[in-house]
Structure 1
Amino acid sequence: MELSKEAILNKTHYGLNIYAHVLKQYYPGTVLSLSGRDCQPALNPFNNDKSTLLISIENNLAVHKDAELSDFNGNVFDFATLHYKLQEQDLIAKLNEELHLHLGEEYSFYNRGNIIVRPEVKEPAQLPLPCFSYFLAPIKNTIPEKAVTLIDVYKIIRSDKFAKQTISLRSINDKKAAKDYKAAHFDYVTFSGIFSKRADNALQKHSGLLTVDLDHISNAGEWVDRLLQDEYFETELLFVSPSGDGLKWIIPIDTTKATHSVYFKSISNYLQLTYSLQLDTSGSDCSRACFLPHDPNIYINPKYL
């Protein structure tokens, strides 16, 4: 992809990531919370650190204004110019470098779903594996059996462990009967962490993972490709839900920069704005249970293999 303003916008969620990156230089830990097409007011380093900076998306471009300063307005590139003191191609090159966008570089492709793998980035020999709690069926059992990793769950879902249950569930037409069957016959995990029991207040350690439930979607195969190629979030695990009409998308978050619930809200807004997908708000709980189905085509981030 060539180095241009359009390419920069495509890789930075219309420029919102640029605003967030610049603001973090002044206020570490800054997270922009998008609601619809408007962000909540943020601190403005160019107005005495007042919470007057208003950022929104207009015509697929992130723009700003100040609640106090009538002449302080413009788009994301104008804002970046104030910080970097650069313009045009020099500014674009600087943003490409600082945000690690890798525009204009040669890519090689992993052989599934055209996943971009940048050969110049060398992963450590052994990556720390996120750990989380595993629970035996039924869902009423809220005491974990053990702690497991992404690779453990990947192997379980690929295996035939829950193949019969998955086939049986998908043959049940009555919604309540199907829900009751799933609750009684499938083991489950809490991807977001290790718990002493399944409750938000019993979290012992967050895993750095968040589960996105995409329910009742058509053309699941097409959505798999789109999510794997998403330029904003990296996919750690992706598989078809037990019912067969949805996807479970496991992505990484950094809980040192924002809470689990803040991330969920921001991701919900992002998916609605980018893909017109509406998430169930009940998924915001960090102790959210995720049933383990049979999916021989489950995807795991190749860095773990």
Structure 2
Amino acid sequence: MVISRENILKKTHYGLNIYAYVLRQYYSETTVLSLKGRDCGVTRNPFNGGKSTLQINVVENKAIHYDTELTDFKGDVFDFASYHFKLVDDEELLLKINTELHLNLEVKKENELSWLDDPDDTWYAYSSFYKAPIRNVFPNQKVRLHQIFERITSDKYKSITEQFRAIKDPKEARKFKANHFDYVTFSGVFSKRNDDSLIEHSSLLTIDFDHLENLEELKQQLLNDEYFETELLFTSPSGEGLKWIIRIDLSKVSHNEYFIAVANYIKHTYNIEVDQSGKDISRACFLSHDPLAFLHKRHQKL
């Protein structure tokens, strides 16, 4: 028999032996369970100060419990074991029960090549990379997201990012940024940086958030957004904004239409106005230093 919830229940009298095992770890000198039919009556609950408030019985071939005082303390035998062993991962929990109760259930061995049957989530998005200054409109190379991520998280842009953030005069700051920061056109590969020179769209859209009051809060919200998966997310050169790179589907709508829809969604969902320059396909995005940038795992380095 291989290890599973069903087989564990079969070998532990619907799970009652698991309850008994756990309770004996706390009350080894007393009888911890007294079974009458499918009802074990009330016993001491180690998770309620040892009070006699734990009710255990069997329902539909599985032992369950509840506490007569703690209304939220209820569940089945696996929930109870999880409390005791302090394990939330189901596989780890079943292995622990199997070991501690000497059930001798067979552990299913993973096929080392089983990953070959998994769906391929790898996706290559190519963008154009440009060396500073911004007036240079001819790309230096075609890059993938993991290459951009490596530049951002390394120390390559650390010094110029720190210098830029130390500049107080807005005019001087704009001049410094234009002259010192490399940049990318995330939305595609270009022969020259203008919309008419697009060679291939990357299916990526850049959303700029500027002058944020709570940058970290928005960062977590974007990473957990229910509609858009984050491909790349990093802090802007100023340190007060975010660059959110998401995947878009251009099979039915244009780049510009998609941008408008996303901008409206962000306004409605997060009450934030986004930089409208993102609607331009050839939008330049400066690369800054951010060791905590996020990259989706699908953009793996191969």
Shorter-chain-normalised TM-score: which range?
Answer: 0.5 to 0.7
Shift of 1:147: 0.2
- Tell me what 2:145 maps to: 150
- Tell me what 2:169 maps to: 174
- Tell me what 2:230 maps to: 235
Inter-CA distance 128–303: structure 2 relative to 1 (3 Å threshold)? closer
Per-residue deviation, residues 220-279 of structure 1 (Å, max 9, x unmatched): 111111000000101000000001000000000011121100000000100001110101
1:128 is paired with a residue whose SS is coil
Distance in 1, matches of 2:218 and 2:199, equals 33
RMSD over equivalenced CA pairs, Å: 2.0
TM-score of the aligned structures, taking structure 1 as reference length: 0.59
Q: Does 1:292 align with 2:302?
A: no
Counterparts in 2 of 1:1-305, with a 5 A limit? Answer: 122-124=118-120, 127-305=122-300
Distance in 2, matches of 1:304 and 1:281, equals 27
Shift of 1:122: 4.1
Distance in 2, matches of 1:261 and 1:279, equals 14
Shift of 1:304: 2.3
2:127 is paired with a residue whose SS is strand
Inter-CA distance 166–258: structure 2 relative to 1 (3 Å threshold)? same
2:290 is paired with a residue whose SS is coil
Distance in 2, matches of 1:122 and 1:156, equals 30
2:298 is paired with a residue whose SS is helix
Judge conservation of contact 2:206–2:244 (CA < 8 Å) in 1: yes
Identity %: 48
1:286 is paired with a residue whose SS is coil
Distance in 2, matches of 1:156 and 1:218, equals 26
Distance in 2, matches of 1:154 and 1:222, equals 21
Q: How many corresponding residue pairs? A: 188
Judge conservation of contact 1:123–1:303 (CA < 8 Å) in 2: no
Judge conservation of contact 2:123–2:298 (CA < 8 Å) in 1: no
Distance in 2, matches of 1:179 and 1:232, equals 34
Distance in 2, matches of 1:184 and 1:304, equals 30
Segments of 5+ residues of structure 1 without an aligned counterpart are 1-106, 109-120
Q: Which amino acid aligns with 1:148?
A: V
2:230 is paired with a residue whose SS is coil
TM-score of the aligned structures, taking structure 2 as reference length: 0.60
Q: Which amino acid aligns with 1:157?
A: I
Judge conservation of contact 2:207–2:275 (CA < 8 Å) in 1: no
Distance in 2, matches of 1:169 and 1:123, equals 43
- Tell me what 2:110 maps to: none
Distance in 2, matches of 1:197 and 1:250, equals 21
Per-residue deviation, residues 49-98 of structure 1 (Å, max 9, x unmatched): xxxxxxxxxxxxxxxxxxxxxxxxxxxxxxxxxxxxxxxxxxxxxxxxxx
Per-residue deviation, residues 112-158 of structure 1 (Å, max 9, x unmatched): xxxxxxxxx9441x723100100000000000011000000000001
- Greater CA radius of gyration, 1 or 2? 2
Q: Higher relative contact order by CA 8 Å / sep ≥ 6: 1 or 2?
A: 1
Segments of 5+ residues of structure 2 without an aligned counterpart are 1-88, 91-116
Distance in 2, matches of 1:260 and 1:299, equals 24
1:224 is paired with a residue whose SS is helix
